[in-house]
């Protein structure tokens, strides 16, 4: 029987976290260009909110892999 309270299952928690970050990053990256730039004064690369989202989640993935 699986013992969910042991330390060995903490790896599972970490993997679920990483999967969550990855899934949200993929979802954000797939938002349409017209949506992320809507009402933006211009379409410069730094205003692309998909890039912001993916970078933010990449930092989270790095933190959770490192700790």
Q: Binding to other proteins by residue 5, rule CB under 8 A?
A: yes
Does the footprint of other proteins cover residue 40 (CB under 8 A)? yes
Which position has the token pair 């976290």?
17
Least distance between other proteins and beta carbon 49 (Å): 6
Question: How many residues of this chain bind other proteins (CB under 8 A)?
Answer: 33
* 62 is an interface residue for other proteins by CB under 8 A: no
Cβ of residue 45: shortest distance to other proteins, in angstroms? 14
How far is CA 12 from each of CA 8, 9, 15, 19, rounded to the nearest angstrom?
Answer: 8, 5, 5, 10
CA dihedral 4, 8, 60, 53 (to 10 degrees): -50
């Amino acid at each position: 029987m699986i013992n969910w309270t042991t330390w060995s299952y903490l790896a599972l928690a970490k993997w679920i976290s990483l999967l969550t970050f990855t899934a949200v990053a993929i979802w954000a990256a797939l938002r349409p260009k017209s949506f992320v730039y809507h009402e933006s004064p211009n379409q410069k690369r730094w205003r692309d909110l998909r890039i912001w989202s993916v970078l933010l989640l990449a930092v989270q993935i790095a933190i959770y892999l490192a700790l």
